[in-house]
Amino acid sequence: MKKVLAVFAFCAASAMAADVTGYVIDQKCSGTKGMRGNEACAKKCLGGGSPAVLVTDDGTIYKVANQDKVVPMAGKKVTVTGKMDGDTITVDTIAAAKT
């Protein structure tokens, strides 16, 4: 029984809930600071098949598990609520960031 509880505790800890604010851009351009907020480029590259990522103001890049949730917000600054697993976030909700 203790082993089962330990497994559940580990699983719960590995997928932590988080709120992250950043820009939805394509993976290819994620390392270029000037591309944050470039909606036209993000839409073009995401439409061409490059995966979407979330890039924070400090340059941290998060992969997105459920691409369909973020693609409509391409190029925009957003706040994502979801579950973190390493450097990947599974989006529960997404909204335009409050400035």
User: Could you read off the pLDDT of 8-31 as tens digits, one per residue?
Assistant: 444 444 568 889 999 999 999 999
Residues of the chain with confidence (pLDDT) below 50: 3-13
0.75 surpassed by pTM: yes
User: Pick from 31, 74, 86, 73: which is nearest to 56 by CA?
Assistant: 31
Residue 24 CB-half CA count within 13 A: 28
CA 40 to chain centre: 19
One-letter amino acid of 86: G
| pLDDT of amino acid 17 | 87
Report the alpha-carbon distance of residue 73 to residue 62 in Å, rounded: 15
The residues spanned by each domain of the chain are 16-96
Report the alpha-carbon distance of residue 56 to residue 35 in Å, rounded: 12
Please state which CATH class domain 16-96 belongs to: mainly beta
